[in-house]
Amino acid sequence: MQTKDTEGLGLHRIVIVGGGAGGLELATLLGNQLGKRKLAHITLIDKNRTHIWKPMLHEIASGSMDYTLHEIDYLAQAHWHHFRYRIGALTGIDRAQKRVYLDAYADTDGELVTPQRSLPYDTLVIAIGSRTNDFNIPGVAEHAIEMDTAAQAEHFHQKLVNACIRAHAQTDNLHAYQLQVAIIGAGATGVELAAELHKSIRTLVKYGLDTIEADRDVNLTLIEAAPRILPGLPERISVDAARILTKLKVNMRTDARVAAVAEHQVLLATGETIPAELIVWAAGIRAPEVLKTLDGLETNAINQLIVQPTLQTTLDKNIFAFGDCASVDWLEHQPPTKVPPRAQAAHQQAVHLAKQLARHLQGQALEDFHYHDFGSLVSLGENWAVGGLMGNIARGTLFIEGYLARFMYNMLYKKHQLSLHGFWKTSIETIAGILRRTTTPRIKLH
């Protein structure tokens, strides 16, 4: 089924597929710059109805954040910022006809909301992000919870609360796996989740679950195949984070390759088993499988679309890709490498594309994307973080930790909010959040 092609007729139609951090920022920027002045017709497509900032998933999983208070409704954002939102999952494109195809969308009762359909485009931008990579390890899909979406994070949190209530209510001794949490993958997500869980579980049991003694009954195990945690970040950040996690009594298993995941246990390649009631898979990334089927566009081994320095796909100058779903060269980096899949990269690419798509509409030459690494910060609980800040490679890295690092970590989310809402709305929401904390539990209890 095709939608009415009269929508946006007479204007250049820019379709953005994917409403993550980068896609939603781009749609908002283009709506404010081009849509408001009727210079282009902007459409954002996403399979969900709301947006949540992905770096916050560990806080949702631990219960330290109620994600429903931080969701951005796509329909409202589109109305306020002069673009259109359409729901649906990407299933394919027709480059000759310039159409993007969407799957049907049904509600939780299975009732059809929107049928399979297609939308026309003049310029297409793909920003559908990535998901964790299970590397085809047996049992991951059946017995582990991935940490890619707010729904998955919320699912983990509900299982965590239920596990604590179950342990509190039972009269016999705890099984060996009960209240044991195994997090596979010690990148930023895994490390941040481990640190956040240390406090949230202790807070949870204070709400009447007094038969549980956290230091005795609860164990957090972080499993990493590499020789150290945070293998993608500078070694000093890894060392500092490991030191703090040790104080939090998080068990760190490095050089530990997972062979399989089974019910209530993780099996290592050495033959050792680690009992766990809750298992999180947070290792590696890959782009969605659908990208391999987009009318011949080039992809790499992890399904990312291969793009030119202008962020145009290699085979079609009218199709752009950015964020985690794109393989982008880091032009200044030596030795040659790719732009890392981080929120700051998606933000920079969104800002760059907003300017370049305006040039694209006028037939002007496009400028290359240059990534500027401003460093990395890793949250280690409500009041602590570690990281390194860098302006450029020549100046080196300034390593920070503690309350200052945590403040700067929090500012990353504020920067995202500012790009979507502006100063006044972000300020009001910040004040409301501070006031709300005085009348609500310290963690989400359901």
Q: Rounded to whole angstroms, how far apart are CA atoms 408 and 401?
A: 10
- Bridge partner residues of 13 (DSSP): 41
SS3 of residue 327 by DSSP: strand
The amino acid that residue 396 corresponds to is G
Burial (0-12, 13-18, 19+ Cβ within 10 Å), 348: buried
Which pLDDT score, from 0 to 100, does residue 245 have? 94
Burial (0-12, 13-18, 19+ Cβ within 10 Å), 188: buried
Q: Rounded to whole angstroms, how far apart are CA atoms 233 and 238?
A: 7
Q: Considering the entire predicted model, what is its pTM?
A: 0.91
Select from 280, 170, 156 the least CA-distant residue to 224: 280
Which pLDDT score, from 0 to 100, does residue 446 have? 63
The segments of the chain whose pLDDT lies below 50 read 391-395
SS3 of residue 237 by DSSP: helix
How long is the chain? 446
Virtual torsion, Cα 257, 259, 261, 266, nearest 10 deg = -50
> Which residues touch 223 (CB under 8 Å, ≥6 apart)?
182, 183, 184, 185, 186, 253, 256, 258, 266, 268, 274
- Bridge partner residues of 345 (DSSP): none
Distance of alpha carbon 286 from its chain centroid, rounded? 12
The answer to whether the beta carbons of residues 306 and 334 sit under 8 Å apart is no
Which pLDDT score, from 0 to 100, does residue 394 have? 43
The answer to whether the beta carbons of residues 282 and 183 sit under 8 Å apart is yes
**Structure-block tokens of residue 223:** 């499993």
> Which residues touch 338 (CB under 8 Å, ≥6 apart)?
327, 328, 329, 330
- Bridge partner residues of 214 (DSSP): none
Which pLDDT score, from 0 to 100, does residue 357 have? 96
Domains and CATH numbers, the chain: 13-130+287-361 (3.50.50.60), 140-284 (3.50.50.60), 375-436 (no CATH)
Which pLDDT score, from 0 to 100, does residue 326 have? 97
The end-to-end CA distance of the chain, in Å, is 41
**Residue 428 Cα distances to 35, 343, 424, angstroms:** 26, 24, 6
